[in-house]
Structure 1
Amino acid sequence: MYAALANPVLKESEGALAGMARILDRPPVTMSDGLRGDTLLTGRWQHGPVHDTLAALPTHVIVAHHGGDGDMALRASGGINIRARSRVGTMVIIPRGQDGRWDIAGQSDVSHVYLTHNRLASTVEELTNGRDFDLLHRVAFEDPTVVNLVTMLSNEAASGERSSRLFVEQAIDLLCTQLVRGHSTFGALADPAARRGGLADWQVKRVVTYMRSRMEEEIGLDELAALVHLSRFHFCTAFKKATGRNPHETLTMMRIARAKEMLADPDMPVTEIGLCVGYQTPSSFAASFRKTVGMSPSEFRRRL
């Protein structure tokens, strides 16, 4: 039956489990044994805030977030710097062999899958034709397919039913396929837009969503490039090929569009609107608005 592991030989997944336990106030408890490829599953459980460095793990860790909204930040090697707000239905991917500093606010209600690379690669060998790949970091990322699969796996693991073993193994295979298609170096290269030198659709969505959610803050190119694991130079080139605008132009258009909406409220000061959409001074807001719209914010408001 499904039960917590008690194997004296430390396997890859158990090593990853121990690594996670070192930075969490409550260590995850696995509810599965004997799964193909030494895959480990947890039921749904909770842990508190995290402000620590996670050492490189020997397996991939896939996390489904079930509750406890809060800010998350990852600073990892290779210039990766990702900030996001966790919400119900988002997920996290911690790729094997990559360390990083994690800062997670508040209580988190989660379930985990510990997935060895051998299990992942063998499951999708037909898809990748044996080509090497790795998973990408994801922080509070929206992928309902991954989240639903991890949630189903955690429910089955907690049930303790031996008859659910076949279902679990097949669901893990589906999870592996979705991870490689949407969250791996192979998936990024397989996308037609990426092959043409642009960004894949998921990459554009990730960057645009990040811009929109942090419009009031200063957002640097390095920060955006890290979201899709590209250098600053290649990110700017690929973003423009995919969207027709460079990142700065896109962010400006978002800010001005939001400012137009806010200018419809006559009680909201123009200077406050500028700050709300990311401009540090009234003059910079006015100059950007005039350049984009052809008139000052005040004149635009008078014409409404």
Structure 2
Amino acid sequence: MARILDEPPILLSEVLQGDARLTPKWAHGGLKEDYMRGVTGHIAVGCYEGQHQISWRIENKLLDSRTNPKAFTLIPQGVDGHWNIAGPVVVSHVYLTQERLQACADEIAGGRRIELLPRVAFTDPAAAGLLEILSQEAERDSASSRLFAERAIDLLCLRLVQEHSSFGSLPAQDRKGGLAGWQVKRVTAFMDEFLNRHIGLDELAALVDLSRFHFCTAFRRSTGQTPHEWLTGQRMKRARELLARSRLSVTEVGFAVGYETPSAFAAAFRKRVGVTPSAFRRAL
């Protein structure tokens, strides 16, 4: 992060429980298409002065908003992308390890690993308020201040788990690991609409704001199939319809349902249906 900022973070020398670190408030300039690599640990950012457009482009997903004191930004560990901030801002940071986050989450998440969601100037007065409190405590040097900061970090971690994580993003009835009904519908409808091209796991996971790992697990628990199995089933269903009702050649049918070569289509069709596409058509 220091590489892309004109004024790097002012990191407090003291390391708190679970290797958590704080900064006081400090000012840095804007950013323009600056690329930041994924970092080890999570970063929660409060913003106190400077109301500007801010955006974070993560692969094919764009998160954008406007900085304000009631909003905060969350950078999960390992997530990279390009940043834009239209002007100078006054901010503070809290650096959290996965271990510190998980220690706070275990009681409510039942021991499941928590995946934080990326946020950009996301309105959450509770999280923003905790970040400001921690920025103030970072400027004091006393045993009571450190103790207060530890408790405030615990509260921040719980807030992130409840409202800004793979656990908190699901309705209570669906937190046993599956997707909510609307999430299944959104993902499967997207598959149906774009069967004619490559569909990646990252693209599907982004539709419901989950990490790739959590999405795959949750989708399987909700549908009984992996995303790949579901997608292949839909492609074969469409292929059978086209072979039966259209004048497209077998090769054209393969292209129409997302296969780049006739051999790949034929192999997938035979594995799923039991015969080659040509044999299926001849038997009609």
Q: Which protein has the bigger helix share?
A: 1
| Corresponding residue number in structure 2 for 1:33 | 14
Larger Rg: 2
- 1:144 to partner: Cα distance: 0.8
| Corresponding residue number in structure 1 for 2:182 | 198
3-state SS of the aligned residue for 1:97?
coil
The ranges of structure 1 where at least 4 consecutive aligned residues each deviate by more than 6 angstroms after the TM superposition are none
AA partner of residue 198 (structure 1): W
CA distance 1:182–1:32, shift in 2 (3 Å): farther
| Corresponding residue number in structure 2 for 1:121 | 102
Identity value in percent: 45
Q: Is the 8 A contact 1:84 1:140 kept in 2?
A: yes
CA distance 1:70–1:139, shift in 2 (3 Å): same
> CA-to-partner distance for each residue in 1:162-214, whole Å, 9 max, x for gaps?
32111111111111000000000111135447854137xxxxxxxxxxxxxxx
Counting matched residue pairs gives 188
CA distance 1:67–1:226, shift in 2 (3 Å): farther
CA distance 1:190–1:121, shift in 2 (3 Å): farther
| Corresponding residue number in structure 2 for 1:65 | 47
CA distance in 2, matches of 1:25, 1:138: 22
AA partner of residue 96 (structure 2): L
> CA-to-partner distance for each residue in 1:100-122, whole Å, 9 max, x for gaps?
10011101111100101111001
- 2:125 corresponds to 1:144: yes
3-state SS of the aligned residue for 1:58?
coil
- 2:147 corresponds to 1:163: no
Structural mapping, 1:9-20, within 5 Å: 20=1
- 1:161 to partner: Cα distance: 2.2
Q: Is the 8 A contact 1:82 1:226 kept in 2?
A: no
Q: CA RMSD in A?
A: 2.3
CA distance in 2, matches of 1:127, 1:91: 23
Match of 1:229 among 209, 222, 237: 209
CA distance in 1, matches of 2:68, 2:4: 21
AA partner of residue 121 (structure 1): Q
**Can you give the 5+ residue segments of structure 1 that lack an aligned partner in the other structure?**
1-19, 200-222, 235-304
TM-score normalised per structure 2: 0.62
CA distance in 2, matches of 1:108, 1:228: 30
Q: Is the 8 A contact 1:82 1:227 kept in 2?
A: no
| Corresponding residue number in structure 2 for 1:281 | none
| Corresponding residue number in structure 2 for 1:96 | 77
3-state SS of the aligned residue for 1:23?
coil
AA partner of residue 112 (structure 2): R
3-state SS of the aligned residue for 1:106?
coil
3-state SS of the aligned residue for 2:11?
coil
Q: Is the 8 A contact 2:117 2:210 kept in 1?
A: no
- 2:24 corresponds to 1:24: no
CA distance in 2, matches of 1:54, 1:152: 27
CA distance 1:228–1:144, shift in 2 (3 Å): farther
Structural mapping, 1:1-304, within 5 Å: 20-51=1-32, 52-77=34-59, 79-192=60-173, 196-198=180-182, 229=209
3-state SS of the aligned residue for 2:114?
coil
CA distance in 2, matches of 1:166, 1:113: 16
3-state SS of the aligned residue for 2:91?
strand
3-state SS of the aligned residue for 1:27?
coil
CA distance in 1, matches of 2:161, 2:7: 30
CA distance in 1, matches of 2:143, 2:45: 24
